[in-house]
């Protein structure tokens, strides 16, 4: 059995309970620019993708100007206007502390922008926990594995010594494409069936179960 040294987490839907806010802000952005408002289900489906990729999926066939306006309005609502609560999942902070104390390196691979992730890390006080982070606007977005490859390069590790933990098929797809094992969490945005189709090592119903799962695996 390969020894796991590096744990790579998705952010939204895995550590941060932010789906309701993302849905509200995307719908508000659509109203602002007078395009058809996406359903909550459609928005939840694209959580985890980079913002531009998400916009193309939600609003196909539009030009660069409209995508620019949508992006600008989405960011306005997310940062300034929308007051939908956004917080860490229960036990996430303590779980990360336990894993760090157990000797694991911790990382983030997220569809958020660098500005957005840095804001969240500052707000939660979690910046110090992570060895390295990668965002969709500074490398290729999920499910392309480039952000994982860059995290591995910084860490000096091979894929089999890392584990991707995420709530979407995009997380598990990008890990599998480079031979990295993955664990899905079922409390996020994609269904158990979608996660199971990617053949993860396990599915967890709570992030606090991860330390025990790792102990039992080893």
For the chain, residues classed under CATH 1.10.150 are 19-81
Lookup result for tokens 């039992």: 216
Residue 50, pLDDT score: 87
Beta carbons of 204 and 213 less than 8 angstroms apart = yes
Taking residues 157-185, report their average pLDDT. 97
Taking residues 154-180, report their average pLDDT. 97
Taking residues 47-68, report their average pLDDT. 90
pLDDT mean across residues, the chain: 94
- What CATH class has 6-17+88-217? alpha beta
The CATH code that applies to domain 19-81 is 1.10.150
Residue 218, pLDDT score: 59
12 catalytically annotated: yes
Residue 62, pLDDT score: 86
What pLDDT band is residue 86 in, cutting at 50, 70 and 90?
confident
Q: How many helices (H) and strands (E) does the chain have?
A: 10, 8
- Rounded (to 5) percent helix, strand, coil in the chain: 50, 15, 35
For the chain, residues classed under CATH 3.40.50.1000 are 6-17+88-217
Share of the chain above pLDDT 90, in %: 87
Q: Of 189, 158, 163, 185, which Cα lies nearest the Cα of 174?
A: 163
Q: Rounded to an integer, what distance in angstroms lies between the CA atom of residue 112 and that of residue 12?
A: 8
Q: Rounded to an integer, what distance in angstroms lies between the CA atom of residue 63 and that of residue 61?
A: 7
DSSP 189: S
């Amino acid at each position: 059995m390969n020894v796991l040294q590096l744990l790579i987490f998705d952010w939204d839907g895995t550590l941060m309970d932010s789906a309701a806010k993302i849905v509200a802000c995307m719908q508000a952005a659509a109203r602002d620019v007078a395009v058809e408002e996406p359903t909550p289900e459609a928005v939840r489906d694209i959580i985890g993708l980079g913002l531009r990729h998400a916009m193309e999926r939600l609003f196909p066939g539009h030009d660069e100007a409209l995508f620019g306006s949508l992006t600008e309005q989405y960011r306005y609502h997310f940062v300034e206007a929308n007051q939908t609560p956004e917080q860490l999942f229960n036990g996430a902070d303590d779980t990360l502390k336990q894993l760090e104390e157990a000797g694991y390196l911790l990382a983030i691979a997220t569809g958020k922008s660098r500005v957005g992730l840095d804001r969240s890390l500052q707000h939660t006080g979690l910046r110090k926990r992570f060895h390295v982070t990668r965002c969709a606007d500074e490398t290729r977005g999920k499910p392309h594995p480039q952000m994982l490859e860059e995290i591995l390069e910084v860490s000096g590790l091979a894929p089999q010594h890392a584990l991707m933990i995420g709530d979407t098929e995009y997380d598990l797809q990008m890990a599998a494409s480079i031979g990295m094992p993955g664990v899905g969490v079922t409390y996020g945005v994609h269904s158990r069936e979608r996660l199971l189709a990617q053949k993860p090592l396990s599915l967890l119903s709570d992030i606090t179960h991860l330390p025990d799962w790792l102990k039992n695996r080893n």
